[in-house]
């Protein structure tokens, strides 16, 4: 798998698209991860999934939010206004920030923060770009602490502060057969950058497509190799490396 002994090195486990519309899937994912890593999971929360606000979330959804250790902002609607770009077609228009200017991105983040703060009683310190698409620098988002991109966690205050990631993600949009390709990409990144932090990303659709067991298998492998689950905020607090 390209994973050697971790020696108490960190790893990051994240659940994306943490929205009430996926409550059934999220409940099962959290339930299955808890015996492995406890609360050490980061939830990428979408404040207004395709126009459905978190404002009237159920008690069960709020309970799930309190089970995980970290809650990150994951766009505003997770829906792009563009239809015919290749990335939009592949991801079912999940690339919300692609093609937007800095001001438009900031407006969406501010809207998301307002709903996020109302639900969790505190603003998000980190941001995960929907479909990993972010056309501006992380330092342009000075109101946030960090941005979790596909290959790194970047500080919003100091562009020199970055934690490299080797990301495994099985959701690559409408083409389910690309899921194995996402798994291979994680292995390749780990081989090319042995010091990179393994990042396991799980989406609700992974449960329906049957890939959650593969994510669990990878997490067990990492734990057996000595890796320790950390949140993105903890990783940014512990140290930095050159880009």
Q: Where are the domains of the chain?
A: 10-238
| 10-238: CATH topology | TIM Barrel (3.20.20)
In this structure, what token pair is assigned to residue 128? 């995960």
Regarding predicted confidence, which is higher, 175 or 80?
Answer: 80
Predicted confidence (pLDDT) at residue 212 exceeds the cutoff of 60: yes
Q: How confident is residue 39, by pLDDT bands cut at 50, 70 and 90?
A: very high
pLDDT, tens only, 189-198: 989 999 999 9
How much is the mean pLDDT over the chain? 91
The length of the chain, given as a count of residues: 243
Predicted confidence (pLDDT) at residue 103 exceeds the cutoff of 80: yes
In this structure, what token pair is assigned to residue 231? 């949140």
Q: CA dihedral in degrees (154, 155, 160, 166; nearest 10)?
A: -20
Q: What is the pLDDT of residue 7?
A: 63
Q: What is the pLDDT of residue 35?
A: 96
Distance between CA atoms of residues 2 and 8, nearest Å: 17
Predicted confidence (pLDDT) at residue 12 exceeds the cutoff of 60: yes
β-pairing, 146-148 vs 152-155, is: antiparallel
- Mean pLDDT, residues 202-223: 96
Distance between CA atoms of residues 219 and 239, nearest Å: 23
Q: What is the pLDDT of residue 2?
A: 56
Q: Lowest mean pLDDT of 7-21, 70-84, 210-224, name the range.
A: 70-84
Q: How confident is residue 64, by pLDDT bands cut at 50, 70 and 90?
A: very high
Q: Where are the beta strands (DSSP E) in the chain?
A: 10-18, 42-45, 48-49, 52-53, 70-73, 126-127, 146-148, 152-155, 162-169, 197-202, 228-230
Predicted confidence (pLDDT) at residue 93 exceeds the cutoff of 90: no
Distance between CA atoms of residues 56 and 19, nearest Å: 12
Tell me the H-state helices in 9-74.
23-37, 59-67
- Mean pLDDT, residues 22-49: 97
Q: How confident is residue 90, by pLDDT bands cut at 50, 70 and 90?
A: confident
Distance between CA atoms of residues 112 and 123, nearest Å: 9
């Amino acid at each position: 798998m390209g994973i050697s002994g971790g020696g108490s090195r960190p790893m990051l486990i994240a659940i994306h698209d943490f929205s009430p519309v996926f409550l059934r899937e999220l409940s099962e994912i959290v339930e299955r991860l808890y015996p492995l890593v406890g609360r050490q999971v980061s939830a990428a929360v979408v404040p207004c999934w395709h126009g459905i606000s978190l404002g009237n979330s159920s008690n069960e959804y709020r309970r799930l939010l309190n089970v995980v250790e970290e809650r990150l902002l994951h766009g505003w609607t997770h829906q792009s206004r563009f239809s015919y770009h290749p990335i939009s077609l592949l991801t079912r228009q999940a690339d919300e920030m692609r093609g937007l200017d800095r001001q438009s991105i900031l407006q969406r983040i501010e809207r998301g923060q307002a709903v996020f703060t109302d639900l969790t009683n505190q603003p998000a310190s980190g941001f995960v770009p929907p479909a990993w698409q972010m056309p501006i620098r992380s330092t342009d988002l000075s109101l946030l602490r960090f941005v979790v991109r596909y290959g790194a966690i970047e500080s919003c205050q100091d562009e020199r502060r970055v934690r490299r990631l080797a990301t495994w993600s099985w959701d690559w949009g409408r083409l389910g057969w690309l899921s194995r390709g996402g798994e291979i990409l994680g292995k390749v990144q780990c081989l090319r950058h042995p010091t990179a932090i393994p990042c396991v990303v799980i989406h609700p659709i992974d449960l329906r497509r049957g890939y959650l067991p593969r994510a669990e298998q990878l997490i067990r492998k990492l734990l057996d190799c000595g890796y320790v689950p950390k949140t993105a905020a903890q990783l940014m607090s512990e140290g930095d490396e050159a880009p």
